[in-house]
Amino acid sequence: MKALQVIDQAFRTTTEEQDDAILWLTRSMRGAGGDLMVLLKGHAVHYAVLTGRQPPLTLGNWQQQQPAELHRDISGLVESGVAVYAVEEDLIERGLARLPLQGGVQAIPRTRIPALYEQADQVWHW
């Protein structure tokens, strides 16, 4: 069974969880043998172009030690054999189209999303 993970939100859990909850879930399921694809749309296309570690949060005398490394989470997925796609129009709308994509991430136009949905046995929209 091939499942497409559709992620359209970003930065919701990245500070508190020190990762994106769905990217993490996907990597974990991949580790358990999951046959998965990832579609980044909406604000989640940011994940396709980030290059560094998230800024650490400081509150009072509490200092974050391990901020999220979203760029590594994406590259880890790609290296594990998970196809990762990002919606072109969503990159363009957010002024991100001229930034280089993470290695292995494929930009696709919205018109190709139906084909991706057809390719998957199940579509899990988070």
Q: Which residue has the tokens 């057809």?
A: 118
Among 66, 79, 103, 117, binds another protein (CB under 8 A): 117
Of residues 23-52, those binding another protein (CB under 8 A): 25, 28-29, 31-34, 42
Q: Is 3 in the site for another protein (CB under 8 A)?
A: yes
Query: Which residues are within 8 A (CB) of 35 and not within 5 positions of it... i.e. 6 or more apart?
Result: 1, 2, 3
Whether residue 14 contacts residue 70, with contact meaning beta carbons closer than 8 Å, is answered with yes
According to DSSP, the residues that pair with 86 across neighbouring strands are 40, 107
Quick check: 1 binds another protein (CB under 8 A)? yes
- Reference 84, options 63, 110, 69, 103; nearest CA is 103
List b or e across 43-53, with b for residues whose CB sees 16 or more CB atoms inside 10 angstroms. Answer: ebbbbbbbeee
Residue 4 CB, nearest approach to another protein (Å): 10
Residue from the set 56, 66, 80, 125 that interacts with another protein by CB under 8 A: 125
Select the residue interacting with another protein from 56, 66, 92, 110 (CB under 8 A): 110
- Residue 108 touching another protein (CB under 8 A): no
Q: Which residues bind another protein (CB under 8 A)?
A: 1, 3, 6, 8-9, 12-13, 21-22, 25, 28-29, 31-34, 42, 110-111, 113-114, 117-118, 120, 122-126
